[in-house]
Chain A
Amino acid sequence: MTDPVLYTSSTFTPQVIDAIQTRAELGRYHIRGFGALRNLPRLDDLVFLTASLTRLPLEGYREKCDTKTVLGTRYAKRPMELEIPITIAGMSFGALSCNAKVALGQAATWLGTSTTTGDGGMLPAEREASSKLVYQCLPSRYGFDPRDLRQADAVEIVVGQGAKPGGGGLLLGQKVNQVVAGMRTLPEGVDQRSPCRHPDWIGPDDLKIKIEELREATNWEIPIYVKMGATRVKDDVKLAVKAGADVIVLDGMEGGTAATQSIFQEHVGIPTLPAIVQAVEALKESNVYGEVQLLVSGGIRSGPDVAKALALGADAVSIGTSSLIAMGCNKPIYVEDYRALGTEPYHCHHCHTGRCPVGIATQDEELMARLPVEEAATHVANYLQAMVMETQSIARACGKSNVHNLEREDLVALTLEASAMAKLPLAGTDFIMGIGHQPGH
């Protein structure tokens, strides 16, 4: 007998069927980690036009390509000086294990870059491991402490995240152990729902006053970043600039999280590619391009992603998920434990369960022990270093002696949608979708 031909509904795909049945079981929406799983227009849809006869490439072995990056030059007495244009994004202790937080701090320190606290406050071991630490000020204010604020190298006011702009935080009870509950002033084991709005300010006019408060509390020494999930990017960036931000942190919809409603990850916000373009336009229209720096995140995985973000006008990028993958997230080890979660290596997005098979997104002592700090830090540092080298390779091939000299003119789009979003010509043409023919491109 021949195998039957199987037809799959495009409306009710196996994933949709699973999602419906999951909701039927739970009686609530599905919560998971990671960012958007669906395909999105992304930086992959752009390619570089490197040097040939019209441009001279730089020689990799002989000619320098600078990667120094300075954030927070607008008002802060002590801007954030980084050796590389890649930082580690805010990921909470609570979502991540202590070992993971310390490893990220250690790796960032080796590479001369910054790491960031998260929802849940500053872990002393993290402060110690991180030579440059950004302290987040989130709506929940879990563990927020002016003493930690004074130890920080920058403050990041989190208005939103790319994975859940407009949504609040979630940490399911299995991760709220005694230590996490203590740091957050919460009852142990509670399903923690945190607010999406700050408790002490609401709109952009209030934000201006909040920023002044943080500056006064830190003697105007350290930069103040404002982090937002990418939605109405142009207006939001302009308002944050007007409120006095030193640095805009913009997180596209690919951006990861440890836990949120999957509907947010898939249906809310705009991708990183158009978000960067709109943010740069907003900074230019506000006459602060170069004065207020732009840090972008959401789906950054490689040197080419970094180089494209810089060429589009960002000052630096931030990574979350890929830094966890570098230290072993989704690695095919402890396979049985992935299966116990109902998943497989390469497919795991189960950070919300607290049962991370590789000891990263967990508070379980036994699982955490699977992540030796030194080894994890080395892997993250190696990965960062490789990404920087890739970025430099592209910059040199474009004839640039500084990665920050990469520019829009170095890029073209492979798809009509990327052309429209990036406002770049379609490869091999002088046509920009939405704008028309631009002879000379």
Chain B
Amino acid sequence: MTQGTTQQTRSEPLPETVIDCSELTTRDINQALRDHAAAGTEAVTLLNPAGRHNLAVGLASPMRIAIQGPVGYYCGGLSDGITLDIEGNCGWSVGENLMSGQICVKGSASANAAATARGGTICVLGNAGPRAGISLKGATLIVRGNAGPSSAFMMQQGRLIICGDAGENLGDSIYDGEIFVGGRVASLGADARFEPMTDSDWTMLTSTLAPFDIAAQEYDFKKIVCAKELYHFKAREFSKWKDAY
């Protein structure tokens, strides 16, 4: 058993386990999480993360993890099926390439939240920095506050829901997927366009936001999708292409 974790055996998984990060290396912490996952532990709490990078990465089990404090880059990155609560702010690329599961950041997230995430849900209850949902490939990213510029850049599939304001160049070079913004949109990027909201959009927003205690109806959501004008190069449309190709 990895140093610093409470004692546990494979035959008797404890319902909750606490790992104090302060004396451990990142390797030790992640290995301890892996060991707990293998032992069938249902929930683990990490204490004193102190902004450390790469916590809870590459995990592939349905374990619940609560991190009590701020984390650095890539928290929960490359994971599949975890339920992760971060009681603090997080650095770049939280939930990067997530395959499935749920990550909830109680504070704010820095740049590239949910970068290239393919499945699952990432919810940031504070604000998100630039490029939130960059290259999103199927996951849902919810930002209760505002999101920075170039969010959903080159988004391919999935949903970006920003309850607050969106920075400049929203959805630039988007291929597919849906963006919803409850506040103001500073500007749209190349090939992104507004589309009228439908009843099914409101139904989806209501059910997607409810688990995070966000009432969709309190926001004036607007929908943004791909205009599909950059799908194929057209010589006559140079003004569109000069910055895009």
Contacts and interface: CB of A to CB of B under 8 A. Distances in A.
A141 interface: yes
Contacts of A206: 73, 92
Question: Number of contact residues on B: which range applies?
Answer: 35 or more
Nearest to B30: A216
B73 A213 contact: yes
A209 B74 contact: yes
Contacts of B115: 199-200
A31 to B, nearest CB: 10
Interface string B25-55: 0110011001000000000000000000110
A214 B26 CA distance: 13
A433 interface: no
Given A199-B115, A199-B134, A187 B54 contact: no
Contacts of A140: 135
Question: Number of contact residues on A: which range applies?
Answer: 35 or more
Interface stretch (B62-70, B141-149, B229-237): B229-237
A212 interface: yes
Contacts of A213: 53-54, 57-58, 73-74, 77-78, 96
Contact of A146 (B31, B78, B137): B78
B73 A187 contact: no
Looking at chain A's contact residues, the main secondary structure is loop
B227 to A, nearest CB: 13
Looking at chain B's contact residues, the main secondary structure is loop
A216 B27 contact: yes
Interface string A172-200: 01000000000011110111011100011
Contact of B57 (A150, A184, A189, A216): A216
Interface in B194-236: 230-233, 235-236
A190 B232 contact: yes
Contact of B53 (A184, A185, A209): A209
B93 interface: yes
B157 A190 contact: no
A188 to B, nearest CB: 10
Interface string A280-297: 000000000000000000
B58 A200 contact: no
Contacts of A194: 154
Interface string A198-225: 0111000010011011101111100000
B156 interface: yes
B155 to A, nearest CB: 10
Contacts of A212: 26, 53-54
B159 interface: no
Interface in A352-390: none
Contact of B72 (A184, A187, A209, A217): A209
Contacts of B245: 28, 193
A190 B231 contact: yes
A273 B135 CA distance: 36
Nearest to B156: A185
Nearest to B29: A216
B76 to A, nearest CB: 11
Most chain A Cβ neighbours within 10 Å, of B60, B72, B92, B116:
B116
A307 to B, nearest CB: 40
A199 B156 contact: no
B63 to A, nearest CB: 15
Contacts of B73: 201, 206, 209, 213
A147 interface: yes
Interface string A214-247: 1011111000000000000000000000000000
Contact of B78 (A149, A199, A201): A149
A386 B220 CA distance: 68
Contacts of B93: 199-201
A403 B177 CA distance: 52
A181 to B, nearest CB: 10
A164 B168 CA distance: 29
Given A200-B116, A216-B54, A173 B173 contact: no
Given A194-B154, A199-B96, 12 more contacts: A28-B241, A146-B80, A173-B232, A186-B175, A187-B175, A191-B233, A200-B115, A209-B54, A213-B73, A213-B78, A217-B77, A219-B31
10 contacts: A27-B238, A141-B137, A144-B97, A186-B156, A187-B175, A191-B232, A199-B131, A200-B97, A212-B53, A217-B78
A-B complex: 7 closest residue pairs judged by Cβ atoms: A27-B235, A217-B58, A200-B93, A200-B115, A199-B135, A199-B115, A141-B116
